[in-house]
Amino acid sequence: MSGHDHLAHCLCEITRLLWMLLLPMLLLCVVLLVVLVLVVLLLRWWLQRSRRARWASNMNPAVAFFHPYCNAGGGGERVLWCAIRALQNRYKDVDVVVYTGDVGVLAQQILDGARQRFNIVLPRPVQFVFLKNRLLVEASLYPHFTLLGQSVGSLFLGWEALNEFVPDVYVDSMGYAFTLPLFRYLGGCSVGSYVHYPTISTDMLSVVKERNPRFNNANYVSNSLFLSAFKLLYYFLFAVLYGLAGSCNDLIMVNSSWTLDHILSLWRAPNRTSVVYPPCDVSAFLDIPLDSDAESKCHRIVSVGQFRPEKDHQLQIRAFNKALRRRLDQVGGRESLKLVLIGGCRNEEDENRVLLLRGLCQELGVADRVEFKLNVSFEELKNEMSNATIGLHTMWNEHFGIGVVECMAAGKIILAHKSGGPKMDIVVPFQGGQTGFLAEDEEGYADAIDRILGLSSERRLEIRHRARQSVGRFSDNEFQVCFLAAMEPLMGTLER
């Protein structure tokens, strides 16, 4: 047999072998698919039986919110409590359930916290389902591949929630999109989302592609071509999975124009997506008098936001340090300026971050001019607002910026990051006039502080008046109207 014939014979044998293996593999795939479908149907039947048992004992339909950190003090929690209050006021015969991981506190303590921090009192009690495995969605558990780790962890946490209580309507109000398929296909629920911030965005892809160091793109990654390419592939594949999960939504609410653009590009559901600006407690700050600050000997700069890495408190401290140094030879010197950082700490990680920030203040020599106010009451927040001249915000691509709106409602001169919601929705011209200032980096913030303090008190008062008038579109009442209108398709599926 010639070499050519031998090669042909070998190829025929290999082809025959592959064909013999292909049929069993196809059969195995079909069997596994059938088993998977049967398991899904069995789980769905079991969960539906649990819901029917609930109907037998309580005829009221149930709307459940998935919010593992409902006892935190951020803007997302304010949206949660205002949404629940709106539903309870509108639908008297609907029960509201909150899935939370705050196992260390009592239900009444959570409600008391909502009243103290946000001035929100619910008309009726809510049912809390306490989840024991919230650790699975903690970022600290996944030092690498954090997005994927938290998303997989949310699947297990979502399964725990579904086992504990099967609602009729499920709303993810904290950004755990991978729980949506569980509740839709296994729980048989109508599902919706209120999106504060997409888990991944085209901006994040751009940061990695352009190899820019950020809080979520470490220097050792941005400095490596190979690691940047690998991370870009990882982000792209994750974005595909995130898009598939989000497509399970029956309705989608987003909190700003910036979030809308990203969610439309990822979830591709324009007919089911609407902008519902988050509720800002505008009215609660309107009683702060708009007096001239001409006689003020110390201008206080107040920052309101949770102590999370993306809030970039380091930028605030460094910019403040630069502005403080520029005032050494001016009237009042260092004593003429003070920075007050107000925010909530969700966990030990946030508390450690505050310690690092305090250390930075010591390192820069500004510890005597920087105050930290942690987990303050609503009354203390108002008091700090009333004494401040400037409201400071430094988060890059902030999805919306409730703290920005509250500062403007309180009549403060806002200085916000030139990106995201503040740039597109909030710090925009109103009635043909300026409502605030925007900056991007340390130098820009220091320059803006100088410009603001260099204005006459009359000019500052004019901007403060206009800013306060402009934020009426972000009030609690506006949120309630828009939220209930957006929720109508989901609530219409309830059998009452």
pLDDT by position in tens, the chain (length 496) = 556 666 776 777 777 766 666 767 777 788 788 887 787 778 778 878 777 777 777 778 999 999 999 998 778 899 999 999 999 999 999 999 999 999 989 999 999 999 988 889 999 999 999 999 999 999 889 988 889 999 999 999 999 999 999 999 999 999 999 999 999 999 999 999 999 989 988 777 777 766 666 555 566 566 677 777 888 888 899 999 999 999 999 999 999 999 999 999 999 999 999 999 998 878 888 888 888 887 788 899 999 988 888 899 999 999 999 999 988 777 667 888 999 999 888 778 888 999 999 999 999 999 999 999 998 888 898 899 999 999 999 998 888 888 899 899 999 999 999 999 999 999 999 999 999 999 999 999 999 999 999 999 999 999 999 999 999 889 889 999 999 999 999 999 886 5
Alpha helices by DSSP H, listed for 327-401, are 348-364, 378-387
Q: What local confidence, expressed as pLDDT, does residue 344 receive?
A: 82
Q: Which residue in the block uniquely carries the two structure tokens 């979830």?
A: 267
Task: Please state, in angstroms and rounded to a whole number, the distance separating the CA atoms of residues 76 and 99.
Answer: 14
Token representation of residue 422: 């503040």
Handedness of CA 168, 171, 176, 178 (dihedral sign): positive
At 289, list the tokens: 């008098």
Q: Is 388 helix (H, G, I), strand (E, B) or coil?
A: strand
> Nearest 5 degrees, angle CA 52-CA 58-CA 60?
95
CB 474 within 8 A of CB 78: no
Residue identified by tokens 């700090």 is: 384
pLDDT at position 422: 94
What's the helix, strand, coil split of the chain in %, to 5? Answer: 55, 15, 30
Q: Is 285 within 8 Å of 382 (Cβ atoms)?
A: yes
Residue 39: predicted pLDDT: 77
pLDDT (0 to 100) of residue 116? 87
DSSP lists the bridge partners of residue 300 as 338, 388
List CB contacts of 242: < 8 A, sequence separation 6 or more: 151, 177, 178, 198, 199, 200, 266
CA distances from 457 to 94, 271, 292, 328, 392 (A): 52, 48, 6, 21, 19
Residue keyed to tokens 């508390």:
351
In contact, 166 and 54? CB cutoff 8 Å: yes
Cβ within 8 Å of residue 4, ≥6 positions away: none
From first CA to last CA, the distance across the chain in angstroms is 82
Residues 6 or more apart whose CB falls under 8 angstroms from that of 313 comprise 303, 305, 307, 341, 353, 357, 394
Residue 357: count of CB within 10 angstroms of its CB: 18
